[in-house]
Amino acid sequence: MELFLMTLTTGIMVGGIYALVALGWVLIYKCSGVLNLAMGELTLMGAYVTLAFYSMGVPFVLSILCTLVIGIALGILVERIFLDRLIGEPILAVIMVTVGLSFFLKGLIECIWGTDTRVFEPAIFSLKPFTIGYLKISVVYFWSFVLAIVLFIVFVCFFKYTRWGLSMQATADDETAALSLGVSARFVYAASWAIAFMSAGVGGALLGNINGVNISVGYLGLLVLPAVVLGGLNSVPGAVVGGITIGILQNFAGTYLDAYFPGGVKEIFPFAFMAVFLLFKPYGLWGWIKIERM
């Protein structure tokens, strides 16, 4: 029972980070229809940029803020250089540009920072877990979860209550109508990429705190794909539920299935789950069902 609860809490905590990254993914898809396969590398970028600032002696919270700023700049840059020209192109072209982008970013990161695992030194969170009732919760997970949730609420408020957020929602809903009301679609696309870079960046910084920063953090960023498929591609609440569910599933697979399938079942399980899930519910829990006509 204790093991069950511990796995559950860890799953929820990690799932919070996935939810944050998945939010960025869903935003890009909702606003500009781009299916982004470079999310893993955006996560990686965030992890390394935060690490670079932190190892220069900047306090952790401040370095996360710096990562946000750099994320905005990079997001706008990437959107302007690569994706702006591809609006209206076939889906494969847009997806493959994000793939090309992911290679470019990965190569760049490896060129600059190498492939060795680096850790945040001095450690930001104490290694001693704290206890609630009979649950032991590691400090890293707890604060990561809190930060992810706080940022998540900030993003949601941004959408609901600010002018920019509303114009993004309008574009996502109906691009033509939004354009006729004076919303600049190009601004919205750039903004959605900036936000995606920001959320992935913070997600990466938090994930990097758990096991150190190396290329495999990018793989963790890729886990948003099962998460968004589960929740439905264009649903913001779906991203949260999907992210947390994937976190929980992953940890349960690691705890309970590892005995039967030794090896990397924890890494693979979300993808296997996704493949089976797609067979039964291809549009996810809350995605829009596309009705096709000739």
Partner 1 sequence: MTTVWLPCGDYHENYTEDQGWWQSRLIKGKMILLLLLVFVVIPLLSKYEIILDSYWLGVANMIGYTAMGALGVQLLIGYAGLITLGHAAFVAVGAYTSTLLILKFPWPQVILDLGLAYPISILVAAIVAGFWSVLFGLPSARVKGFYLILTTMAAQFITVDFILTQYVSKIGGRGQAFSLPPGTIKIGPWAIETDTQRYYLMIILLTFSVIIMANLLRSRVGRAWIAIRDNDIAAETLGINIIWYKLLNFFVAGFLAGLAGAFWVCNCAALSPEHFPWFWSLWLVGVILIGGAGINGAIYGSIFMVMIMEILQMAVIPLSEYESLEFLIVKFAFIKDMAFGLAICAFLIYEPRGLSYRWWQIKNYFNLWPFSY
From the list 89, 177, 181, 256, which residue makes contact with partner 1 (rule: CB under 8 A)?
89
**Gap between the Cα atoms of 44 and 112, Å rounded:** 13
277, with CB counted inside 10 A (0-12, 13-18, 19+), is middle
**Gap between the Cα atoms of 169 and 175, Å rounded:** 10
226, with CB counted inside 10 A (0-12, 13-18, 19+), is buried
Closest among 213, 195, 94 to 154, alpha carbons compared: 195
178, with CB counted inside 10 A (0-12, 13-18, 19+), is buried
Residue count of the chain: 294
| 37-56 footprint of partner 1 as x/- string (CB under 8 A) | x-------------------
Query: Which residue bears the tokens 């990397």?
Result: 264
101 binds partner 1 (CB under 8 A): yes
Residues 45, 173 contacting (CB under 8 angstroms): no
183 binds partner 1 (CB under 8 A): no
From the list 76, 77, 95, 119, which residue makes contact with partner 1 (rule: CB under 8 A)?
95
Nearer to partner 1, 6 or 31 (CB): 31
85 binds partner 1 (CB under 8 A): yes
From the list 190, 194, 229, 240, which residue makes contact with partner 1 (rule: CB under 8 A)?
229
274 binds partner 1 (CB under 8 A): yes
288 binds partner 1 (CB under 8 A): no
Nearer to partner 1, 104 or 143 (CB): 104
Give residue 87's identity as a one-letter amino acid code.
I
Nearer to partner 1, 278 or 285 (CB): 278
From the list 35, 119, 135, 137, which residue makes contact with partner 1 (rule: CB under 8 A)?
35
Nearer to partner 1, 35 or 65 (CB): 35
Is the backbone of residue 261 left (phi > 0), alpha (psi -120 to 50) or beta?
beta
Residues within the interface to partner 1 (CB under 8 A): 35, 37, 82, 85-86, 89, 91-93, 95-97, 99-108, 110-111, 225-226, 229, 233, 261-265, 267-268, 271-272, 274-275, 278-279, 282, 292-294
